[in-house]
Chains A and B, each alone.
Chain A
Amino acid sequence: MAHFDPNARPFSHKWMNERLAVDTLKRVLSTEYWIPKNINFLWAMGMVLAATFGLLLISGIFLLMYYIPDTKQAFDSVNHTIMGEVGYGWLWRHMHGVAASVVFLIIYIHMFTGIYYGSYKRGRELIWLSGMLLFVSFSAEAFSGYMLPWGQMSYWAGMVITNLFSLGSLDWQGLVEWIRGDYVPGQAFLGRFFMLHVLLMPLIIMALIVLHFGTLRIPHVNNQDGEEIDFEAEAEKWKAGLRKESKVIPFNPVFLSKDTFVLGIYFIFYFYLVFYHFEFAMDPVNFDPANPLKTPPHIYPEWYFLWSYEILRPFPKDPGLVAFGFAQVIFFFLPFLDRSPNVAPANRRGLFKFWFWILLVDMIVLTIMGKVPPVGIYTKIGTVAAWTFIILWILLPFITKAEKAVRGHK
Chain B
Amino acid sequence: MSDRRDFFGKVLGAYAGLGALGALYAAKRTWDPLPSVKAAGFTTLDLSGLEENKLYVEKWRGKPVLIIKVPKNAKPDTAPNGNDKNAYEDPRLITVGGHKFMIVIGLCTHLGCIPDYFPEKHKFICPCHGGQFNAAGEVLKAPPPSPLVIPPFKVEGTKVVLGEAGPEYKKMKEKGLVA
User: Which residues of A does B touch, CB under 8 Å?
Assistant: 156, 177-184, 186, 188, 192, 292-295, 297, 299
Main secondary structure of the interface of B (DSSP, over half): loop
Q: How far is the CA of A180 from the CA of B61 in the complex (A)?
A: 12
A182 with B63, Cβ < 8 A, contacts A293-B114, A294-B114, A297-B128 known: no
One of B31, B63, B114 near A184 (C-beta < 8 A)? B63
The contact sample of 19 A-B pairs, CB cut-off 8 A, is A179-B31, A181-B33, A182-B37, A182-B62, A183-B33, A183-B41, A186-B37, A188-B34, A188-B37, A192-B31, A292-B63, A293-B59, A293-B63, A293-B64, A293-B114, A294-B114, A295-B113, A295-B114, A297-B111
Q: Given A295-B113, A297-B113, are A183 and B32 neighbors across the interface (CB < 8 Å)? A: no
**Which chain A residue shows the least CB distance to B41?**
A183
Q: Which of B32, B63, B113, B128 contacts A178 (CB 8 A)?
A: B32
A183 and B114: CB pair below 8 A? no
Contacts A183-B37, A295-B111 aside, 7 further interface pairs with beta carbons under 8 A come to: A181-B31, A181-B33, A182-B33, A183-B61, A292-B63, A295-B128, A297-B128
Give the complex CA separation of A294 and B34 in angstroms.
25
- The answer to whether A178 and B111 have CB atoms under 8 Å apart is no
- Name the distance in Å between B28's Cβ and chain A's nearest Cβ: 8
- The answer to whether A292 touches B33 (Cβ under 8 A) is no
Pair count A-B, CB < 8 A: 48
Closest Cβ of chain B to A380, distance in Å, is 18
Report B's interface with A, CB cutoff 8 A.
31-34, 37, 41, 59, 61-64, 107, 111-114, 128
B33, B61, B107: the one contacting A295 at CB < 8 Å is B107
> Cβ of A181 and Cβ of B63 under 8 Å apart?
no
Chain B contacts for A295, CB-based, 8 A: 107, 111-114, 128
Measured CB to CB, the closest approach of chain B to A122, in angstroms, equals: 37
A192–B107 CA distance with the chains assembled, in angstroms? 27
Least Cβ–Cβ distance between A97 and chain B, in angstroms? 26
Which residues of chain A come closer than 8 Å to B37, judged between CB atoms? 181-183, 186, 188
Bound Cα distance from A180 to B62, whole angstroms: 13
Closest chain-A Cβ to B56's Cβ sits at a distance in Å of: 15
Known: A294-B114, A295-B112. A181 touches B62 (CB 8 A): no
Closest to B127 in A: A297
A293-B114, A295-B111 known; A186 and B32 CB under 8 Å? no
The answer to whether B62 touches A292 (Cβ under 8 A) is yes
Q: How far is the CB of B23 from chain A (nearest CB, A)?
A: 15
Interface centre among B33, B61, B111 (most CB of A within 10 A): B33
Would you list the 8 A-B pairs with minimal beta carbon distance, nearest first?
Answer: A184-B62, A183-B61, A295-B112, A292-B62, A182-B37, A181-B33, A293-B64, A297-B128
- Report the bound CA distance from A183 to B43 in whole Å: 13
Question: Chain B contacts of A179 at CB under 8 A?
Answer: 31
Contact of A178 with B31 at beta-carbon distance under 8 Å, contacts A183-B41, A186-B62 already known: yes
Q: Which residues of A contact B61 (CB under 8 A)?
A: 183-184
Within the complex, what minimum Cβ distance (angstroms) separates A168 from chain B?
A: 14
User: Is B33 in contact with A177, judged by CB distance below 8 angstroms?
Assistant: yes
Contacts of B41 in A (CB 8 A): 183
Cα–Cα, bound, A177→B112 (Å)? 19
Tell me which residues across on chain A come within 8 A of B31, comparing CB atoms: 178-179, 181, 192
